[in-house]
């Protein structure tokens, strides 16, 4: 189940990045638009790092 949670968290980062990009597209070129695009880039990088880190192993409690 931890893997599903990690995948969900990563998808939340990606959804937030998409929202930032959608908002940036509505703006005219300029500093505010650039800042939104940069924020989206950072969020995508966080999602990538989350996915690469994989789920934390939980101890086997069946013993």
Residue extents of the structural domains in the chain: 17-52
pLDDT tens for each residue of 1-40: 555 665 666 579 999 999 999 999 999 999 999 999 999 9
pTM of the model: 0.70
CA angle, corner 34, sides to 32 and 40, nearest 5? 105
Average pLDDT score over residue span 52-57: 71
Of 5, 10, 15, 8, which is closest to residue 52 (Cα–Cα)? 10
pLDDT at 42: 97
CA distance 54 to 32: 34
53 pLDDT above the threshold of 80: yes
- pLDDT top residue among 30 and 53: 30
CA angle, corner 22, sides to 18 and 25, nearest 5? 135
């Amino acid at each position: 189940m931890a893997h599903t949670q990690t995948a969900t968290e990563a998808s939340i980062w990606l959804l937030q990045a998409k929202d930032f990009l959608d908002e940036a597209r509505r703006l005219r070129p300029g500093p505010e638009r650039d800042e939104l695009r940069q924020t989206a880039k950072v969020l995508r990088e966080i999602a990538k790092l989350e996915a690469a880190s994989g789920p934390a192993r939980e101890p086997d409690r069946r013993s």
